[in-house]
């Protein structure tokens, strides 16, 4: 490692021939009878961003956990700077210079930003924590990353995006040879992603090897130098990013499932359904410090896509429509009846369903089974005294496991053991089982693999075709545009634009959002 840094010319000109800082050779890990990793080899070079590619369940997370000492490998060799190492604990891996930021923010919400960043390695004076020094060090690191956060504030006060950046700051604060970023961008908006990439580039130029996992292909092409593609726990190929086209990459990752996406593109007819009475009408719906008064109409058989950056008010609007937060102003009319939604329960009784963007905290009930998770909303609305009959339970669960291709197809599996994509499908099933008229999906495809994503998108199109009114929110504009019949653009906590989706392009939407920034009013709603 130090050798590499003292000889920059070899590092930059001949990376391929350089010695990898870490080499994992023929790594296998078995859980029970499941082979999670089967003789996978990966090489990480100093001064490179290395993307780990593959669907959920391909073995990316397992590989990372093998490298960070969370899992013990069954066979294979890990060498660091040519020396063989064995990690039996995350601490051992950290001591060897490997730092990790996991997919979900793994911090302590009620500690301060500085405390989180330096947790476990607090500067001490006379045996007690030196708070001033801690804040000073945290501020310096944050400044280095260009993150404008007061280190003395409590972490919980900040949005997920900022918490994510703090997690990265924590990892960067350790002098790391290898920085592993597992889905760091899934909850960041474009600006924040750019900020993160700036930091990643800086660290890369300092000679750090960065492992990057992301489901956003554009990000891979923007930042990564080399990639390793995994499928079903096996190594597919190691490639240089510049020498691989996106189409080729997707094919390597998923193969046949690409057809589902193609089919979807053809099968999404734009419906002209703004006739008759809307299923749901919001007039001046708003909440202090959350959302300015907003009007919205939802019609049968229509997908309304809500586009906007993180913090634009897209999630806040969805929560008000569902009664997850209560509105202080405005009226909501459901099927020509004026309603005040004081709780999610009220909304569910009016046949409105809402799947939250925060799957882990607001959707998944980890220690219950897949079946119980699926039936939770229906059971809740029936009340505890009227359990769903066993025969109905079995049938509903079996039907939805099949219809949504949930794996494992085992109703008794614990929810927390499922991959993100399958959890998302179970949550979708939870709401479909309540037979809603309005289905609000906030980021239903975040952090899940392309196969599951295509299946969920196809399902949304199918539901709308059957007459359901769907609100679809996603940070991925392509996805919103592909699915929606009507498009609502939000910015700065209010609706700035609404139009029928007649082949609107991503560029158009970005211009609408940016146009507002230049002060042009473009509201034609």
Partner 1 sequence: MPETATRAQRVLRHPLLWPVMALVVLLLVNVVAKPSFLDVRMQDGHLYGNLIDIMRNSAPVMLVALGMTLVIATRGIDLSVGAIAAIAAAVACTRIIGAGDEAALSTAVMAMTYAVVVCIVLGAWNGLLVSVLGIQPIIATLILMVAGRGISMAITDGQITTVNNPFFSDLASGFVLTLPLAFLVAVAMVLFTAVLTRRTALGMLIEAVGINPEASRLAGVRARTIIWTVYAFSGLCAGLAGLVIAANTNSVNANSLGLWIELDAILAVVIGGTSLMGGRFSLAGTFVGALFIATLARTIPNIGIPSEVNYLFKAVVVIAVCLLQSPKARALLRVRRSAAPTLAKAGSPA
* Footprint of partner 1 (CB under 8 A): 28, 30, 32-35, 38, 74-75, 322, 324, 343-345, 348-349, 354, 356, 361-368, 372, 376-377, 379-388, 430
Q: Provide the minimum distance between the beta carbon of 44 and partner 1 in the complex, in angstroms, as a whole number.
A: 24
Rank residues 62 and 484 by Cβ distance to partner 1 and give the closer one: 62
User: Hunting for tokens 């940070």 — which residue is that?
Assistant: 475
In angstroms, the Cα distances linking 515 to 142, 349, 508 are 31, 40, 10
Using an 8 Å Cβ cutoff, are 509 and 477 in contact? yes
Work out whether the CA dihedral 354, 356, 359, 363 comes out positive or negative: negative
Q: Provide the minimum distance between the beta carbon of 54 and partner 1 in the complex, in angstroms, as a whole number.
A: 17
Q: Provide the minimum distance between the beta carbon of 411 and partner 1 in the complex, in angstroms, as a whole number.
A: 13
Rank residues 35 and 195 by Cβ distance to partner 1 and give the closer one: 35
Identify the bridge partners of residue 486 per DSSP, sorted by sequence position: 304, 500
Rank residues 177 and 350 by Cβ distance to partner 1 and give the closer one: 350
- Tell which residue, 196, 262, 210, 205, has the closest CA to residue 241: 210
Rank residues 35 and 239 by Cβ distance to partner 1 and give the closer one: 35
Using an 8 Å Cβ cutoff, are 44 and 21 in contact? yes
DSSP 4-62: HHH-HHHHHH-TTTSPPSEEEEEEEEEETTEEEEEEEEEEE-TT-EEEEE--TTSSHHH
Any residues with CB less than 8 A from the CB of 17 and at least 6 apart, and which?
Answer: 10
Rank residues 2 and 33 by Cβ distance to partner 1 and give the closer one: 33
Q: Provide the minimum distance between the beta carbon of 388 and partner 1 in the complex, in angstroms, as a whole number.
A: 7
Rank residues 21 and 40 by Cβ distance to partner 1 and give the closer one: 40
C-alpha triplet 96, 206, 50: angle, nearest 5°: 70
Any residues with CB less than 8 A from the CB of 369 and at least 6 apart, and which?
Answer: 411, 412, 413, 414, 415
Rank residues 388 and 510 by Cβ distance to partner 1 and give the closer one: 388
Q: Provide the minimum distance between the beta carbon of 156 and partner 1 in the complex, in angstroms, as a whole number.
A: 14
- 140 CB-side CA count, 13 A: 8
Rank residues 299 and 322 by Cβ distance to partner 1 and give the closer one: 322
Instruction: Please tell me the distance from the alpha carbon of residue 302 to that of residue 500, in angstroms, as a whole number.
Output: 11
């Amino acid at each position: 490692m130090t050798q590499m840094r003292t000889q920059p010319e070899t590092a930059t000109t001949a990376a391929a021939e350089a010695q990898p800082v870490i080499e994992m050779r023929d790594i296998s890990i078995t859980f029970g009878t499941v082979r999670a990793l089967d003789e996978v080899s990966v090489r990480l070079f100093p001064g490179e961003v290395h993307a780990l590619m593959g669907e959920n369940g391909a073995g990316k997370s397992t590989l990372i956990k093998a490298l960070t000492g969370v899992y013990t490998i069954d066979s294979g060799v890990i060498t660091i700077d040519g020396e063989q190492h064995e990690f039996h604990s995350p601490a051992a891996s950290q001591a060897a210079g490997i730092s990790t930021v996991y997919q979900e923010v793994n911090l302590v919400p009620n500690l301060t930003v500085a405390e989180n960043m330096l947790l476990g390695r607090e500067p001490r004076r006379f045996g007690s924590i030196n708070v001033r020094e801690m804040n000073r060090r945290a501020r310096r690191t944050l400044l280095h990353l260009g993150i404008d956060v007061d280190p003395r504030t409590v972490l919980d006060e900040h949005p997920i995006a900022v918490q994510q950046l703090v997690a990265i700051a924590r990892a960067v604060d350790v002098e790391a040879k290898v920085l592993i970023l597992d889905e760091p961008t899934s909850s960041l908006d474009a600006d924040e992603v750019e900020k993160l990439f700036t930091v990643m580039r800086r660290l890369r130029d300092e000679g750090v090897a960065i492992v990057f996992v992301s489901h956003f292909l554009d990000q891979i092409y923007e930042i990564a130098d080399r990639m390793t593609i995994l499928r079903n726990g096996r190594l597919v190929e190691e490639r240089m990013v510049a020498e691989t086209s996106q189409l080729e990459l997707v094919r390597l990752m998923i193969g046949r499932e690409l057809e589902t996406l193609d089919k979807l593109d053809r099968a999404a007819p734009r419906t002209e359904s703004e006739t008759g009475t809307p299923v749901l009408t919001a007039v001046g719906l708003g909440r202090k410090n959350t959302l300015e008064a907003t009007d919205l109409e939802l019609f049968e058989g229509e997908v309304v896509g809500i586009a906007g950056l993180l913090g634009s008010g897209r999630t806040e609007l969805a929560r008000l429509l569902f009664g997850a937060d209560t509105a202080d102003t405005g009226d909501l009319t459901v099927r020509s009846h004026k309603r005040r939604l004081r709780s999610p329960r009220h909304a569910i009784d009016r046949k409105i369903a809402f799947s939250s963007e925060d799957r882990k905290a607001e959707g998944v009930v980890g220690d219950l089974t897949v079946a119980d998770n699926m039936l939770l909303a229906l059971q809740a609305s029936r009340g505890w005294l009227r359990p769903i009959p066993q025969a109905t339970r079995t049938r509903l669960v079996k039907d939805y496991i099949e219809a949504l291709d949930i794996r494992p197809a085992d109703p008794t599996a614990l929810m927390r053991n499922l991959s993100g994509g399958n959890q998302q499908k179970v949550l979708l099933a939870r709401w479909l089982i309540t037979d809603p008229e309005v289905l609000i999906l906030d980021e239903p495809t975040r952090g899940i693999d392309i196969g599951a994503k295509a299946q969920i998108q196809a399902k949304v199109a199918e539901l709308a075709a059957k007459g359901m009114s769907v609100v679809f929110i996603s940070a991925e504009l392509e996805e919103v545009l592909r699915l929606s019949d009507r498009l609502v653009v939000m910015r700065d906590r209010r609706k700035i634009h609404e139009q029928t989706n007649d082949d609107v392009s991503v560029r158009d939407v970005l211009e609408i959002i940016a146009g507002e920034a230049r002060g042009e009013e473009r509201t034609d709603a």
